[in-house]
């Protein structure tokens, strides 16, 4: 499969360059443009920067130096071709068609003028990213409801543990839904393109972080949840988490939160009750491979909170360094840096909650960090561009296994995490039906016999509109879940309810987006939520499961 994907990408590249050369020759003959010349106005540059930030920066970097996706620099970087060589028509071929390695096709998602503008934008130097210092961050802090004015107990009889926070990415909103009754409790304006939600250790608050770096703190105690504080942590961000440790080193439950910046490359620690900024730490530095290469754009990818120690696991993408950030002194945190592999992305804990499994997706590897002992345990080779989300923990005759899906191929790899023969190796692989990868997330639950895998970024519409379900005991493919009648678009992000007997999936990027709720035992569709307030839902986070790292 990997050979097929590589050949397909090479063919597309050759076709793109061929189209570009032919087009430039014709253009020169007619005098329409100069060979290699590109024009873009200041207004167009601003518009193109916004489109690129929204759609492309996550994989290719805000400064276009690449990570999960290749670099997109006018003169190339020695590994990938110069965008000026590809030219407008060559770049268009990739933008419109995508690649088998996980880049979606943007034809039909971006408009024709937007695609044309991007082809020119990618041939000029990327705009510089300004700094964002502590003084700037403090100016954005907005304490809307002080702590003393908030209720001291829930103002309702609902089960907060089964609340769902649902991201409506393009609308810049978060919906709070009662998972027991399926009622919408609130739709709240938050940051642009919210990436994740993390609940406080107590489950009382949700913290959302938008790709614009804005954190919104949502209080779930009122009958109608409300935003009680806001702050901006970066210009581009992805990750946030709360302090979860309560042990012999102190009680830090819900005391601090941390947010990681893509740009500027830094993390910021805040008071978890008010969002008051406490400290800023830059993550720029040398790469993990000893090449003595200083990397300025060293973006914070994922962050998770340890349950066994007063620290956060901070994964720095470009350097391949895992930082263990001790928050007992939040104004000057002590950081242990562990060299691993480039380019770190997302991951989650094993079933015992001690080893953190993170994808180095450009290296096709999973990095295993022993958090209590602050050391690298293992680096495991898996498939092409692993993208596990937080991964999935299952247990069967092979032992305790942690699973990842892939952007670059259709494999699901199972790594043995408990002691014994085969620990920290891939002991089983299954394949999702259909060519190519495109998987973003997979999910299981301790009370479930199923593993659910999406194919969101596969360019084939018959695959990206489905979710594959496997039996965790036999590894057999059980069913392909398809979008129901009256709903269309891509299916993305699987989340269980607190009991582990329901599965929630988002249908987005279609004409009729929706939330789909399935019975995990029978795999039957139970409910479709597609009211007017549902606007392209993506990630969904159950309070109980997210607090306790159940996946």
Strand ranges across the sheet with 426-431: 392-396, 399-404, 411-416, 426-431
Residue 193 and residue 325 in one domain: yes
Q: Is residue 494 part of a domain?
A: yes
Q: Is the pLDDT of residue 25 over 80?
A: no
| For range 286-299, the mean pLDDT | 87
Contact 298, 319 (CB under 8 A): yes
Listed range (39-43, 426-430, 488-492) with the worst mean pLDDT = 39-43
46 band by pLDDT with thresholds 50, 70 and 90: confident
| For range 48-52, the mean pLDDT | 86
Give the per-residue pLDDT at 98.
81
Pairing, β 477-482 against β 466-471: antiparallel
Q: Is the pLDDT of residue 460 over 60?
A: yes
Residue 98 and residue 187 in one domain: no
Q: Is the pLDDT of residue 215 over 50?
A: yes
Strand ranges across the sheet with 355-360: 344-349, 355-360, 365-370, 375-381
Residue 163 and residue 286 in one domain: yes
Q: Is residue 424 part of a domain?
A: no
Q: Is the pLDDT of residue 111 over 80?
A: yes
Residue 62 and residue 184 in one domain: no
Contact 216, 230 (CB under 8 A): yes
Q: Find the length of the chain.
A: 551
Residues 201, 507, 48, 43, CA torsion sign: negative
* Structural domain count of the chain: 3
Nearest CA among 545, 547, 488 for reference residue 513: 488
Token pair for residue 97? Answer: 């068609």
- Find the domain containing 26 and state its range: 2-121
* Catalytic sites, residue numbers: 56, 59-60, 103, 345, 387
Q: Is residue 413 part of a domain?
A: no
For residue 113, report the phi and psi dihedrals to the nearest 5 degrees: -60, -35
Average pLDDT of the chain, as a whole number: 90
Q: Is residue 395 part of a domain?
A: no
Token pair for residue 387? Answer: 């993208």
Residue 198 and residue 304 in one domain: yes
Q: Is the pLDDT of residue 67 over 80?
A: no
| CATH assignment at residue 116 | 1.10.760.10
Other C-beta atoms lying within 10 Å of the C-beta of residue 536: 20
292 band by pLDDT with thresholds 50, 70 and 90: confident
Q: Is the pLDDT of residue 3 over 50?
A: no
Spatial distance between the Cα atoms of 376 and 340, rounded to a whole number of angstroms: 7
Q: Is the pLDDT of residue 71 over 90?
A: no
Query: How is 26-50 classified by DSSP, letter by letter?
Result: HHHHHTSS-TT-----HHHHHHHHH
Full-model pTM = 0.85
Residue 173 and residue 115 in one domain: no
Spatial distance between the Cα atoms of 229 and 206, rounded to a whole number of angstroms: 11
529 Cβ contact partners less than 8 Å away, ≥ 6 residues apart:
177, 182, 184, 514, 515, 516, 517
Residue 443 and residue 533 in one domain: yes
Contact 368, 355 (CB under 8 A): yes
Q: Is the pLDDT of residue 26 over 60?
A: no
Q: Is residue 223 part of a domain?
A: yes
For 7-144, list the strands marked E by DSSP: 142-143
102 band by pLDDT with thresholds 50, 70 and 90: low
| CATH assignment at residue 261 | 2.140.10.20
Spatial distance between the Cα atoms of 401 and 355, rounded to a whole number of angstroms: 12
Q: Is the pLDDT of residue 30 over 70?
A: no
Q: Is the pLDDT of residue 178 over 50?
A: yes
DSSP classification of residue 406: B
Q: Is the pLDDT of residue 426 over 50?
A: yes
Which of the listed residues 58, 90, 121 is the one where a domain comes to its end?
Answer: 121
DSSP classification of residue 161: G
Listed range (100-109, 169-178, 215-224, 370-379) with the worst mean pLDDT = 100-109
Q: Is the pLDDT of residue 17 over 70?
A: no
Give the per-residue pLDDT at 101.
66
β-strand partners of 506: 492, 515
Give the per-residue pLDDT at 289.
84
Give the per-residue pLDDT at 350.
98
Q: Is residue 62 part of a domain?
A: yes
Give the per-residue pLDDT at 535.
95
Spatial distance between the Cα atoms of 312 and 314, rounded to a whole number of angstroms: 6
Q: Is residue 542 part of a domain?
A: yes
Spatial distance between the Cα atoms of 65 and 297, rounded to a whole number of angstroms: 9
Give the per-residue pLDDT at 18.
41
Residue 77 and residue 224 in one domain: no
Other C-beta atoms lying within 10 Å of the C-beta of residue 148: 6
| CATH assignment at residue 533 | 2.130.10.10
Residue 103 and residue 205 in one domain: no
Q: Strand, helix or coil at 369?
A: strand
Rg (CA), the chain: 23
SS3 string of 220-240? CCCCCCEEEEEEECCCEEEEE
| For range 242-254, the mean pLDDT | 97
Q: Is residue 513 part of a domain?
A: yes
| For range 22-26, the mean pLDDT | 37
Residue 108 and residue 146 in one domain: no
């Amino acid at each position: 499969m990997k050979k097929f994907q590589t050949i397909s990408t090479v063919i597309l590249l050759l076709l793109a360059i061929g189209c570009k050369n032919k087009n430039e020759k014709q253009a020169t003959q007619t005098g329409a443009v100069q060979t290699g010349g590109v024009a873009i106005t200041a207004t167009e540059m601003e518009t193109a920067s916004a489109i690129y930030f929204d759609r492309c920066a996550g994989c290719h970097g805000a400064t276009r130096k690449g990570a999960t996706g290749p670099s997109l620099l006018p003169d190339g970087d020695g590994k990938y071709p110069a965008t000026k060589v590809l030219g407008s028509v060559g770049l268009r071929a990739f933008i419109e068609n995508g690649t088998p390695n996980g880049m979606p096709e943007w034809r039909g998602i971006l408009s024709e003028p937007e695609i044309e503008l991007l082809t020119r934008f990618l041939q000029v130097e990327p705009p510089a990213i300004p700094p964002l210092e502590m003084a700037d961050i403090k100016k954005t802090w907005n304490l809307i409801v002080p702590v003393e004015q908030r209720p001291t107990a829930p103002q309702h009889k609902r089960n907060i543990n089964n609340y769902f926070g649902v991201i409506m990415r393009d609308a810049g909103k978060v919906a709070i839904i009662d998972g027991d009754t399926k009622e919408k409790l609130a739709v709240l304006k938050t940051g642009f393109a919210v990436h994740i939600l993390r609940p406080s250790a107590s489950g009382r608050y949700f913290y959302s972080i938008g790709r614009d770096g804005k954190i919104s703190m949502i209080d779930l105690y009122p009958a109608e949840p409300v935003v009680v504080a806001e702050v901006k942590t970066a210009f581009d961000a992805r990750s946030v988490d709360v302090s979860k440790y309560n042990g012999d080193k102190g009680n830090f439950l819900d005391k601090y939160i941390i947010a990681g910046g893509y740009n500027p490359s830094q993390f910021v620690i805040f008071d978890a009750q008010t969002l008051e900024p406490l400290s800023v730490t830059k993550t720029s530095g040398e790469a993990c491979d000893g090449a003595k290469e200083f990397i300025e754009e060293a973006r914070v990818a994922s962050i998770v909170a340890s349950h066994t120690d007063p620290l956060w696991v901070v994964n720095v993408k470009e350097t391949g360094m895992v930082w263990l950030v001790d928050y007992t002194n939040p104004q000057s945190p002590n950081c242990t840096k562990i060299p691993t592999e480039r380019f770190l992305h997302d991951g989650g804990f094993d079933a015992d909650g001690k080893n953190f499994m993170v994808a180095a997706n450009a290296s096709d590897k999973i990095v295993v960090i022993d958090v209590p002992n602050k050391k690298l345990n293992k680096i495991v080779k898996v498939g092409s561009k692993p993208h596990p989300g937080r991964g999935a923990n299952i247990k069967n005759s092979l032992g305790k296994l942690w699973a990842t899906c892939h952007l670059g191929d259709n494999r699901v790899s199972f790594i043995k995490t408990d002691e014994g023969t085969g620990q920290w190796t891939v002991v089983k692989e299954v394949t999702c039906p259909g060519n190519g990868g495109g998987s973003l997330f997979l999910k299981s639950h301790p009370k479930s016999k199923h593993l659910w895998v999406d194919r969101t970024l596969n360019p084939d519409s018959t695959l990206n509109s489905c979710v594959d379900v496997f039996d965790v005991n036999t590894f057999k493919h059980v069913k392909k879940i398809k979008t129901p009648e009256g709903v269309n678009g891509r299916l993305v992000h699987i989340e269980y309810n607190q009991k582990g007997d329901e599965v929630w999936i988002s249908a987005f990027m279609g004409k009729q987006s929706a939330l789909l709720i399935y019975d995990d035992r029978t795999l039957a569709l139970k409910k479709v939520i597609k009211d007017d307030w549902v606007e392209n839902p993506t990630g969904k986070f159950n309070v109980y499961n997210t607090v306790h790292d159940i996946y």
